[in-house]
Structures are given as structure tokens and as C-alpha cells.
Amino acid sequence: MATLQKLPYVSSCSTASSYGVHSDKGDMFPAGLRVLVVDDDFTCLRIVEQMLRRCSYLATTCSQATAALNLLREKKGCFDLVLSDVHMPDMDGFKLLELVGLEMDLPVIMMSADGRTSAVMRGIKHGACDYLIKPIREEELKNIWQHVVRKKWNETKEQENSSSLDESDRHRRGTDDVEYASSANEGSEGILKAQKKRRDVKEEDDGEFDNDDPSASKKPRVVWSVELHQQFVSAVNQLGIEKAVPKRILELMNVPGLTRENVASHLQKFRLYLKRLSGVSQQQIGLPNSFCGHIEQNPKLGPLERFDFQALAASGQIPPQTLVALHAELLGQPAGNVVLPAIHQQFLLQGSRQGQESVRGDVGVAYGQPLIKCPSNISKQFTQESPEDVNSNFKTWSSNSLGSIGPSSNLTGLASQNGNTLMGVMQNQQQLQRMLQEQQHKQSVVQESTPSINVQPSCLVVPAQPPSFQVVNRPSISQSCSFPGAEAIFSSADVTTPQPNNSIFAVGQMLGVNHKTAKILDGYSVAGPVSPSVSSCSGIAENNALRRVQNSAPEFNASRQVPVLFRDMNDCQGSYSEKSSHVLDHGTLRNIGFVGKEACIPSRFAVDEVEAPISCNGSTYRENGKKVKQEPNLDFIESVNMSNPMMQYFSPNDVMSVFSE
């Protein structure tokens, strides 16, 4: 636990400390900046060296690019900045710039007598942080320390920004941030077309550059597909989050077409996630307000078209899950169907992967481009929402997928994971599978599960979620028998079960019927896509739904009041935390990396849950409106304590899956 929580901080702290090293020197700061000057022109070399010396920088000169590169490789961390000429006989300055950026991640300033726009543009495109035109003036060199600080400052600043949860901040980022805006555009354009295409892309390779989207034609973007991200996380875990350097990660990933910049930016976001995860408890206090605002926005979305939704989702205003639900709602069955195939593929292809991944895949399918930006979105959403719920969903997902899919691919890894929790679950899983296949699971399960109300927590954690889920539902039903909504849900479940593929939709509809089950609906809609692919998948979907049901069930039981939900949630969370601790033992080190992934996915789920009401039927939304808002808040509050355990818990699974792969 402690390691997980601390590590993210450590990473951020390290950057801060390094920055602090300079700042501690106070007035002396720029002095002692270690600069490597590379130029085949000895005249310039000598002059620049002298200038740097006069600025009290520590200048090292090198007349050959290859020698400079070797020097940089041998003495990693011995230089803060590289000044390089553009034209050099043994190696193009841009090549050096690229390599330095790739391996050392140092700020590189290019200098050349060629001040033509095209040449300067080349330097910018290659990632030079500055382009000095000869003759170099001392005044210019006096200022180069800013690039060192800026580079580090940007890293820390980004983390700080992302960590701030102000609603206004979220909105601002959604609209102002270039990245997000672009992703939104891509998402809007890409989702429609990319759904089908994306499948192909993923089958072919690990994402890499996504050329599907017209908007992406200007500049190739890296789609961080599930596979790619998994590779990334495994690489990070292998290196250790602290020692993970883009260059090394890139080497470990060994994905053609992937550049250090891509990895670096992804790593940055990944670290942000980790930090978020660890800091969720602190941040969540402020979440309720933003969350409410979030929900309120959703109604407006209703009239909007798919494009807008996607854009919003891409910009982080709408969670991916919501989008899926929206699609289902707006488009009706067809949309759901469209989404489902993609999910199926995900599961089939990545069956070995865990629930989170499957979730990702789903999101990716629905979103298209947004996948790339998922990390950012996820982080935002995650902070806002309660990770716990999401995690629990994941858990269920993974367990289900393991049970059903596991046999084919990653059963061993999953088994090990599940081992602790699933001991008794196996039976449940079998039952679940049966149930799924038969699609009568709910009825039977209900009977079986009804007895134990307390089972809910375990159910959530345990792989045999279907049973637990059902159990949960049953309790709620039994308790809330009086509630029409609950009954409707059940009936719907029964109806839906017969047809796995349609079950999701049916469930979603059913959920929609129950305004209180708004959350459930969301969960269903999300899960729905998955279920069609495989019987086991359907089971997963059901599990998710079940989870939702559980959450909702408490509401029903507790006179539909939010407080009740909190109780239930807490219980569930508590169970999660316990299990998570077990899981943690298996792989703490890798948990960190995985946590990030899972956290992201969970967040989405959570978002969906919260916003799901909106995505659900309009009528449902209206009814649920107030309740939904309340629930989210409560969840958040509760989640504050629980979030950490959940994260850990999930992480092990991810790790396991990675290894198996």
C-alpha cells in the first residue's frame, strides 16, 4: 500500500527536487549550468565556449557530433543542456538533436548561420527548444538556462495543473487545451469511422500511428491502444517507475513508429495518473461540486448529436462510458450493436487481458481518437469520481473475463490472482457461465444469492461476480420488493438474459425504467458491449450490471436515499480493500504501473455511473437527476478512504495479465 501511494509522489518529487536544486542556489542558479557545445566549426566552438564561461556556465566542447553523442551516453546526467550546430560533417545536427532527445531527454538548442525560416522550422520540428542564429551573442547564451528550468517546470506544472480539480479548470482544459481540443475533433470525426477501422488497426498491430482519422492526417498521432499501453506499462514496471526513462521504455516496447516524444508524453500522463491515484483521497473532497456541475451539463447534451457528445467526451467533459450509453440511447439498438462488435473483438483478441483493458478497448472503439487522450481524460474523471466503484467493476470484469476467457489464454495468471479471492468463486463462475449460456442466470442466481445480503462486498471482489451480483440484486429486490423500479429491473434482466447480445441493451432499457438504477443502467450499457462477444463476456457485462445493481439496490433498500448508498458503497469498498491487500502481495512493484491503468479505467466507469443517468433514457434522467447528483457526491466522500485499496487491488491483476502475455 505504502509503496504504491508513495511512488507516484516520489516521481513528482524527484523532478521538483531537481528543480529545487537550482532554485536553492538562489541568485547563483544559472551559474554552473552544464552545457555541452557541439560544433564542427572551431571558431564558433571557441567563441561560444568563452561566452558560456563568461556566463559562468560549465562548458564542454566537442567538435564532432558522434563524439558528443558518445560523451552524452557515457556521462548521463552530467549535462543540463546541449548546444549543437546544425550542419556537421559526421552527423546532422538534427539527428543528434533527435538522439539526444530520445536518449537523454535534455533540452537541445540548435545554432546555425542559416537563419532561413525553413531551417528554423526544421529545428522546431525536430524538437529543438531554441534555435540560435549565428553569430551567437552573449546575451542569448545568458538566457539559455531558462530552457533547462522550463523543461522541468513544464513537467511539474503539468502535474500540478492536472491535479487541480476545479470545475472551471476542467472546463478550461477541455476547451483551451490544444491537445484536448484536437483530440475532441479527432474523436468526433473518428468515432464514427474508426469503430470499424479501429478493429482492423488493432488486429494488425499495436495502434502506432492512427491514420484513420482525417484530422490526424496533418500529424501522425499515436493511438495508445490497450496493447500499446500494456506494453508501455510492462516496460515501466520492468524499469521501475522511478527509473523509467522514455528512451528505455521505447527500447523495451520495441514498437516501430513510436517515438521517444510519444513515450515521453505518455509517461508523463502515466505518472500523473499514479499521482492522482495516490492523491485521490485528498482531492475528492472538492469533487462533489464539480461533479454536480458535470451532471447538470449532461442534460444539455441530450439534444446534441453524436458528434458533440464525442467531442465533449474527448475533451474530458463527458466520460467515455457516458458516450457509450449515449450512443445506445440516441441511436437506439443499432448503436449498441455497432459498439458491441468492437468490444467483442477486444475481448476475443485480448481475452487474456483484464477487465480494465477490455474496458479500454470498449472506450477506444466508441471513442476512436479519444483513446489517445484517454490518460488525461481518465485522470480528470478519475479524480472527480470515486475510483472505488470503478475498481470494483474492473474487478468483476477481470474475474469474469478470466473465468470465461481465461481458459484460452491467460487463465493461469488470472487463476493466480483469483486464487485468493476466487477460492469459492470457481463454483460461482461455473454457475455464472452456465447462467450466461443459459441466460437464465439471474433467476437461478437470485434464488441462490438471495439469502446473503452481506455477500455483496465479496461478490464485488470475487471473480464469481455474477452470483454475487445476483445476490446483491436479490437482497435489494427482496428488500425493495415494494419498489416498482427494482422489480422492473429484475424483470428486464430476465428478459434480457435469453439473448446475450441483446441482453445489454435490454438491461440498459430496464435500468432506464428504473430511474433510481440510473447507475446500473450505465453500468449495463457499458457492460453490454462486452457481453455479446462471448458468453463469458456477457457474464462480465452482467457482472457490471450486477454491480450497478448492487449499488442501486442499496439505494432502493435504503429508501432510495443517498445515505443508504453510501453505506452499501462503503461495505463494498471495504471488501475490496481487503481483497486488494491480498492481491497486492503478489506483485507490489508492478502494481504501481498497473494502478495507473486500472485507475484510468475505473475512473471511466465511475464517470459513467455517475453520468449514466443522463446517458440513459431521458425520462430516467430527469427522475434520477437529483439523486444521481447526490450519489456521486456520497460515493466520492466514501471513496476518499477506499480509493487506495482499490487501486492496489486492481493493480495486481494487471500485472499478472502482463506477465502472462
Partner 1 sequence: MLGLESYRLVADMNRLLALLFHQGVLDEQFLQLQQLQDESSPNFVSEVVNIYFNESEKLLRNLRTLLMDREQWEYKRVGVHLNQLIGSSSSIGANRIRNVCVALRAASEQNNRLGCLRALDVLEHEYCYLKNKLHEFFHIEQQRVLAAGIRYPNPMQQQQQ
Residues contributing to the site for partner 1 (CB under 8 A): 40-44, 46-47, 50-51, 53-54, 85-87, 89, 112-114, 134-138
Of 86 and 634, nearer to partner 1 (C-beta) is: 86
What cell does 332 get? Answer: 437506439
Amino acid residing at 167: E
Of 40 and 261, nearer to partner 1 (C-beta) is: 40
To partner 1, the closest distance from the beta carbon of 109 in angstroms equals 15
To partner 1, the closest distance from the beta carbon of 636 in angstroms equals 60
Of 45 and 583, nearer to partner 1 (C-beta) is: 45
End-to-end CA, the chain: 25
Of 57 and 309, nearer to partner 1 (C-beta) is: 57
Cα-based torsion angle of the residue sequence 269, 270, 271, 275 in order, rounded to the nearest 10 degrees: 100
Q: Cβ(536)–Cβ(346) under 8 Å?
A: no
Of 56 and 70, nearer to partner 1 (C-beta) is: 56
Of 142 and 567, nearer to partner 1 (C-beta) is: 142
Of 51 and 371, nearer to partner 1 (C-beta) is: 51
Query: Could you tell me which residues come within 8 angstroms of residue 320 by beta carbon, excluding any fewer than 6 positions away?
Result: 313, 362, 363, 366, 367, 370, 374, 377, 604, 607, 608
To partner 1, the closest distance from the beta carbon of 104 in angstroms equals 25
Query: Could you tell me which residues come within 8 angstroms of residue 94 by beta carbon, excluding any fewer than 6 positions away?
Result: 86, 110, 122, 123, 126
Of 49 and 598, nearer to partner 1 (C-beta) is: 49
To partner 1, the closest distance from the beta carbon of 144 in angstroms equals 16
To partner 1, the closest distance from the beta carbon of 30 in angstroms equals 18
**Helix/strand/coil for 317:** coil
To partner 1, the closest distance from the beta carbon of 387 in angstroms equals 56
DSSP summary character for residue 330? I
Give, in degrees to the nearest 5, the angle at Cα 615 between 611 and 620: 95
Question: CB-hemisphere CA count at 13 Å for 607?
Answer: 31
3-state helix, strand, coil in the chain (%, to 5): 75, 5, 20
To partner 1, the closest distance from the beta carbon of 120 in angstroms equals 14
What cell does 174 get? Answer: 477541455
To partner 1, the closest distance from the beta carbon of 146 in angstroms equals 21
To partner 1, the closest distance from the beta carbon of 97 in angstroms equals 17
What cell does 518 get? Answer: 440510473
Give the CA diameter of the chain. Answer: 90
To partner 1, the closest distance from the beta carbon of 111 in angstroms equals 8
Residue 94, burial from CB neighbour count under 10 angstroms (0-12, 13-18, 19+):
buried
Rounded CA separation 498/435 (Å): 10
Q: Cβ(88)–Cβ(110) under 8 Å?
A: no
What cell does 546 get? Answer: 450486477
To partner 1, the closest distance from the beta carbon of 136 in angstroms equals 7
Per residue, the 3-state secondary structure of 70-82, as one string, reads HHHHHCCCCCCEE
Of 46 and 626, nearer to partner 1 (C-beta) is: 46
Of 50 and 333, nearer to partner 1 (C-beta) is: 50
Of 30 and 467, nearer to partner 1 (C-beta) is: 30
Helices (H) and strands (E) in the chain, counts: 31, 5
Q: Cβ(241)–Cβ(11) under 8 Å?
A: yes
